[in-house]
Amino acid sequence: MSLVLVAGLTACGNKKSRTTHAETEGVYVDLGKLKYQVQISRPLNPNDIEDREYLRGVSDTLGAQDEWFAVFVRVQNESKSFEKPATQYDITDTLNNTFNPVNVDTKANSFAYNPIGIPGNGVIPNPDSLPAQTSINGEMLLFKIPRTNLDNRPLILQIHDPQNFQTVDTVTLDV
């Protein structure tokens, strides 16, 4: 009888837990068959040489009270099949204001998030791409956020499942 009990307890310990919220950046969240990780998030300064590269291909302009805010993500496909990553992301603040990413031309900006799909056991950014060769190792989602809203912390990144937009995983951003 004790062998049956041990086998039953061992089987329970093999369950894979699913993470749907990360309290901080760097933690993977599971959404569908993919794992999403925020590598880093930060305001961008258009006058900084490095940051100017991240802003290539952006046709939108900042208002006097706005900031560019970048979220660099990594998406991992652990399945054997081709998978479509999320195409809908947004950031909410503590006052329930919601911000959507601005369009960034992926042909002009190699750091821009490009959700074309991930082959089995693949990753975004592609290991041979420029974003994967930097210390950030993520593709960029770019948001235009009023400066005052950056004080309404925590800011939460919401990642919407491409199969069911009502299913959302979240990451608390380090601002």
In a domain, 80, yes or no: yes
The DSSP code for 101 is B
Is residue 12 a part of any domain in this protein?
Answer: no
The confidence band for 15, taking pLDDT boundaries of 50, 70 and 90, is low
Residue 131 structural domain = 18-173
Residue 162 lies in a domain: yes
- Residue 3 lies inside a defined structural domain of this protein: no
CA distances from residue 51 to 65, 66, 79, 87, 116 in whole angstroms, order as listed = 18, 16, 34, 24, 24
Give the CATH number for residue 31: 2.60.40.4170
Mean pLDDT of 110-127: 97
Residue 30 is which amino acid?
A: D
Residue 46 in domain? yes
Dihedral Cα 130, 50, 147, 66, nearest 10 deg? -80
For the chain, the domain total comes to 1
Picking from 130, 175, 172, the residue whose alpha carbon sits closest to that of residue 27 is 172
Query: Considering the domain boundaries, does residue 157 fall inside one?
Result: yes
pLDDT digits (tens, 9 = 90+) for 136-174: 999 999 999 999 999 999 999 999 999 887 899 999 999
Please indicate, yes or no, if residue 8 is contained in any of the structural domains: no
Which residues, in sequence order, are CB contacts of 31 under 8 Å at separation 6+?
Answer: 20, 86, 159, 161, 167, 169
Q: Is the pLDDT reported for residue 116 higher than 50? A: yes
Output the CA torsion sign for 135, 140, 143, 149: negative
Tokens in use for 50? 């490095």
Question: What is the model's pTM?
Answer: 0.90
